[in-house]
Each structure stands twice: as structure tokens, then as C-alpha cells.
Amino acid sequence: MTTLTIREKLEQREFETLSEIATKSANSKGRKVDEEQSDLRTDFQRDRDRILHSKAFRRLKHKTQVFLSPFDDHFRTRLTHTLEVSQIARTIARALDLNEDLVEAISLGHDLGHTPFGHCGEGVLNELVDGGFYHNIQSVRVVEVLENLNLCKETVDGIRTHSWGFKPTTPEGKVVQLADKIAYINHDIEDSIRAGVISESDLPKDCINYFSSNQSKRLNKMITEIVNNSLGKSEIAMSEEGWEYTTKLRTWMFENVYNDESMAKLEERKARRVIKELFYHYCGVLKPICPSDRIVRVVTDYISGMTDRYAVERFKENFMPTGLKTSAREDYLFRLAASES
């Protein structure tokens, strides 16, 4: 009698319980570099854990989602966005009997390559780099090169194709692609209302009539439409009517929030300058010591990995004059303590 490892039992359970179209971890196309398998975890579970413990994942907590460096702690960051995508994607995957571990791994890794200052930062690098800059491609570079996580091909594919215009090769990748859109449309509406950029009454009436003005109900309806429309099918998609209103709501957000020049977004002009000045500065720094064909690649990797506050500090350090620094004198503190008043 051969005793199965826990991993083998989990793999067996996937074949017994998951949908025919689900991606089974035992059938993974593997990693770039073969590894000895774990006795406890499936390959997709190991991918999830590697991403969760990566440095790039930890930096997401200080990267902008929409509003730059808000003092209000209730605004989303790139990290909380990632967690919301994971929650939505796992809910859909569980309902459709897809591989929840693969969905979670893709979700947690999909924005690892995002720049500081959100899409504003991405836009600046896209202008400065020949061939453009795309955060989904940079996310793949993070996991494959910069942190060399040696992830499964299915996980890497899902990370690469989460952006619109790409076609995932697994149903789990498609789930994350949809979950990403659902997450940012809904939480960006809430954050925009909190910031005073829009009000609930500004939202397109037909979209609200279809989905509801209540965020929880709107989110639930979008998820439910994907599940109900995809049950028993080989393609994962929202209903045509639901997708029409989702797309309209997304377009409205781009016109009225993402590309808006309201007071809450004016700081983006400063953020653009920070990215641009740092880019040219570091290209100059590397010129004497780095092959010319590698300079832009190195600088792009460095800047795209920065958090908002790290980029600001590097800008201050390189472009803001500082006075003579001396050790802090605490004489007044001690005089106060010694005084009788």
C-alpha cells in the first residue's frame, strides 16, 4: 500500500470536486525550473505563498490606488485593492467549482509591478520608455526576474493577462480579469464619493437602476451575473446586459474620476514631475557605470518598484536643498523638566 502525501490527496480532491474546465494543479504545465514538489501543498498553493511573502507584495501597502497619499486611512491602497480582487475572484471560483488556489495566486500577484502614484505613475513611464510601460508586463518581470519566484506557467499567464485586451488561457485567469474590473469600479466609486469628487446622484441613472446605488448590492449583482451566466459553460463571462452596464459605468469613471482634473487629483501633476525627474536623474547616475542598453531597463525596474513615499523621499534627497544638519539639542526639554512652573 502506498501512502498518499497531503499534496497528493489535495490533487485527488481537485479531480473529484472541481469542474471539468477547472485547472488541476497536478496537470500544471510546470515551472521554468523544475523543483521537488511539496508534501503539504499543491503547486498553486506554493505560488500563492511565494507571492504573499515577496517584498513586492509588502510594498503594495504604500502604493496609490486612485487618490495620492490620502490622510484618511479609509481610502484604498494598491494592497487593499489586491485583497478585494482576491476575495471577489475566490467567491466566483468557489461558486463555479474552479481552482480557488490558482485564482488566489493570480489575484495576489496581478499588481506587483504597479508603479508609485497609481496609473499616473504608469502613464509617465509609458511616455518615457521606448515601447511603453505596462504594469501587467512589469508584474510578470517582478515574479520571473526581479524576485525570481519560479511560479507555475498558469499563474504567470493569469498575472500577464489580467489587464483588459489580453486573453487568459485558463478559466481562473478569466475570473481574475473580471474580478479586477468589478473591484476597482466599485471601490473607486466609494472612494471618489468619500473624497468629494463625485456624489452618488452623479452616477449614471440607468446603471444604478440596473445594479443599485448601494455598493454591497451592486457588487453582489455583478458577481451573481458572472456566476449565473457561466454555470455549466466553458466560457466565464457576465451576461451581455450586465456587461453593457458595467462597461458604461467603467467608462463614466474614466471620464469623471480617473482622467478628471478636480482638486482631489491636482496632486498628480506633482507626482508626474517626481517620476519624470527621478527617471532622468537615475539615467544620468548610471551612465558612467552601466551599459547604455541596460540603463533604461534598470531605472524602470527601480522606479516602478518604489512606493509613493519612497519616491517622494528620493526626490527630496536629490532635488530639494537642505540646511546644515546638526545633532538635535534637547536643552529646552530638560530645562522645562527642571523648572518649578
Residue 265 has pLDDT above 80, yes or no: no
Q: Give the domains, in start order, of the chain with CATH numbers.
A: 6-23+38-266 (1.10.3210.10)
Q: What is the pLDDT of residue 291?
A: 93
Mean pLDDT over each residue of the chain, to the nearest integer:
93
What pLDDT band is residue 69 in, cutting at 50, 70 and 90?
Answer: low
Q: How much of the chain exceeds pLDDT 70, in percent?
A: 92
Residue whose C-alpha cell reads 510594498 in the numeric block: 59
- List, for residues 143-156, the tens digit of each pLDDT value: 999 999 999 999 99
Residue 98 has pLDDT above 60, yes or no: yes
Question: 218 with 182: CB under 8 angstroms?
Answer: no
- List, for residues 197-255, the tens digit of each pLDDT value: 899 999 999 999 999 999 999 999 999 999 999 999 999 999 999 999 999 999 999 99
What pLDDT band is residue 61 in, cutting at 50, 70 and 90?
Answer: very high
What pLDDT band is residue 323 in, cutting at 50, 70 and 90?
Answer: confident
Q: What is the pLDDT of residue 37?
A: 95
What pLDDT band is residue 34 in, cutting at 50, 70 and 90?
Answer: very high
| SS3 assignment for the chain | CCCCCHHHHHHHHHHHHCCCCCCCHHHCCCECCCCCCCCCCCHHHHHHHHHHCCHHHHHHHHCECCCCCCCCCCCCEHHHHHHHHHHHHHHHHHHCCCCHHHHHHHHHHCCCCCCCCHHHHHHHHHHHCCCCCCHHHHHHHHHHHHCCCCCEHHHHHHHHCCCCCCCCCCHHHHHHHHHHHHHHHHHHHHHHHHHCCCCHHHCCHHHHHHHCCCHHHHHHHHHHHHHHHHCCCCCCCCCHHHHHHHHHHHHHHHHHHHCCCCHHHCHHHHHHHHHHHHHHHHHHHHCCCCCHHHHHHHHHHHHHCCCHHHHHHHHHHHHCCCCCCCCCCCHHHHHHHHCCC
Residue 264 has pLDDT above 60, yes or no: no
Residue 338 has pLDDT above 90, yes or no: no
